Amino acid sequence: MNTLSHITFDLTPGSAQYPLDAWYVAATSVEVGNTPLHRRLLDKPVVLYRTRDNLPVALFDRCPHRGYPLSAGILVGDNIQCGYHGLEFSPGGGCELIPSGGQTPAGMKVRSYPVADAWGWVWIWMGDPHKADREKIPDLGIYGFGREGWFVETAATFELRANYLLPFENLLDATHITFLHNGQIDTGEVAGKPLEMVVEKERILVIRRIENELQSPLTMRTFAFNGDRAHRTITAEAVPPNLCGIKVELEPVEKSAVERQINQLVVAITPQDRTNTLQFTAVAQTFPFVNPRWREELRDLLNEDVAAMEKIQALHDSIPREEAVEFGIHADKGAYRARSMIARMLRDETTSPSATGEQNA
C-alpha cells in the first residue's frame, strides 16, 4: 500500500492500481487497419480501426442496442456497423444509422477515446478526455527514435497473465539479468556491481557500469564486436506508469575501428485489467541490425521474463494477502521511486475536480 495526502492506493505488484490519465499503447500501427480489432485495455473492451484517411479510431466495443461487440461487425466508410442489427456508429461514437428505422433514442452513442499514431504504435487515452494532450505522448526521440544515425525496429508483443507493475518493476532492476537469464546476456558480473539512481523529472534511471567485462555470445552477436571483452554500461530506465527502457552501451577495451555503440530496448506496458498486461517492444540502436536472428533471440529472452512474472502472479493469487509479505532491498530503489510517482498520479486523478469516477478500485 502507498498513502499520499491521506488517500490510500493499492500498489502491490500482483494487484496494483493503474492511472487512467495517461497515454497507453493500444496496438502497433500496422495492426490497426480496415478490419475492426478488439482489445481489452484498462478493464474496458475497445475496438480499433482506421478511417479512409488512415486516421486511427478507438471506441467502446459494445453496441448500446443489444450489447453485441462492435469488433464483430464491419466498416462502412468511416463508420463501424454492428454485425447484429446493422446499426452504424461514427468515429466520434454517434449513432449514424438504424436500418430498421424509427427515431434514434436520445443519448444513443458509444464512447470514443482519444487516439494517435506515434513512433510506430497507436496510443490511447482512456481517462478524462479533457486532459488528453497529445504533447504528453512520450517522446521516444530520447531513445533514438527518429534520430539521424539510429536504426529502429518494432519487435514482439507479449500478453502476460500478470499485473502491469510486475513487468514494469522487473525492467527497472538489471539484477535479474544475472540469474533469470542464466548467462544469455551476462557472464555473472551485473548483479554485484554498484548502481546509481538518477531522477530527471518524470524519468527514473538506474545505471551500472562494468569495466573490461567478459561478454556473452548473444551480446557479441548483437553488437558484432570482435573479441569477447568490452566495457559495458547498462541503464534501466522508466517513465511511470507504462514506459521502460534498457540501454546497453558497449565500448571496446582497446582502440578499435568500432567505437561506443548503443542498443536500446523500449517497452510499453499496457494493463488489460488488474491481472493481465500487454507488453509492446521496439529496439533502437546506433548500428545496423547485423544479427539475422535478433527478433527471435529477443523474443526468447523476454519470454523468460514473461514466464517469471506469470509465476509470481499465480503465487500471489493463491495465498492470502497477509502472507504476501514484501521486503525491499537496495536494488529496489528505482521501483519504489516509480511507485511513489504512480501513487501521485492516482492521487491527482482522485482529487481532480474533473475526475470521471472510473478509477480502477
**pLDDT one-digit tens code per residue, 130-158:** 999 999 999 999 999 999 999 999 999 99
What per-residue confidence (pLDDT) applies to 358?
A: 47
Q: Mean pLDDT, the chain, as a whole number?
A: 93
What per-residue confidence (pLDDT) applies to 357?
A: 42
With b meaning 16 or more CB within 10 Å and e meaning fewer, what string describes 98-123? beeeeeeeeebbbebbbbbebbbbbb
User: CA-to-CA distance for 133 and 326, rounded, in angstroms?
Assistant: 36
Mention the CATH class of domain 141-351. alpha beta
Q: What nine digits make up the cell of 189?
A: 558480473
User: CA-to-CA distance for 218 and 248, rounded, in angstroms?
Assistant: 13
What per-residue confidence (pLDDT) applies to 255?
A: 66
- Cell 482519444 belongs to 114
What per-residue confidence (pLDDT) applies to 3?
A: 47
Cα angle value 164/171/335 (rounded, 5°):
75
What per-residue confidence (pLDDT) applies to 189?
A: 87
- Cell 555503440 belongs to 261
Same CATH fold assignment for domains 23-126 and 141-351:
no
**pLDDT one-digit tens code per residue, 14-54:** 999 999 999 999 999 999 999 999 999 999 999 999 999 99
Q: What nine digits make up the cell of 21?
A: 490519465
Q: How many secondary structure helices (H) and strands (E) does the chain include? A: 5, 19
User: CA-to-CA distance for 268 and 150, rounded, in angstroms?
Assistant: 20
Phi and psi at residue 223, to the nearest 5°: -90, -10
**Checking phi first, is residue 42 left (phi over 0); if not, alpha (psi -120 to 50) or beta?**
left
Q: What residue ranges of the chain have pLDDT lower than 70?
A: 1-7, 255-258, 352-361
Strands 243-252 and 23-28: unpaired
What per-residue confidence (pLDDT) applies to 203?
A: 95
What per-residue confidence (pLDDT) applies to 4?
A: 44
Domain limits, the chain? 23-126, 141-351
User: CA-to-CA distance for 238 and 301, rounded, in angstroms?
Assistant: 20
**Checking phi first, is residue 165 left (phi over 0); if not, alpha (psi -120 to 50) or beta?**
alpha
* 23-126 to CATH, choices 1.20.140.10, 3.30.2420.10, 2.102.10.10, 1.10.10.60: 2.102.10.10
Cα angle value 132/271/161 (rounded, 5°):
170
**pLDDT one-digit tens code per residue, 176-199:** 999 999 888 988 889 999 999 999
- Cell 467502446 belongs to 60
User: CA-to-CA distance for 85 and 259, rounded, in angstroms?
Assistant: 63
| Alpha-carbon dihedral angle through residues 204, 210, 214, 220, given to the nearest 10 degrees | 40
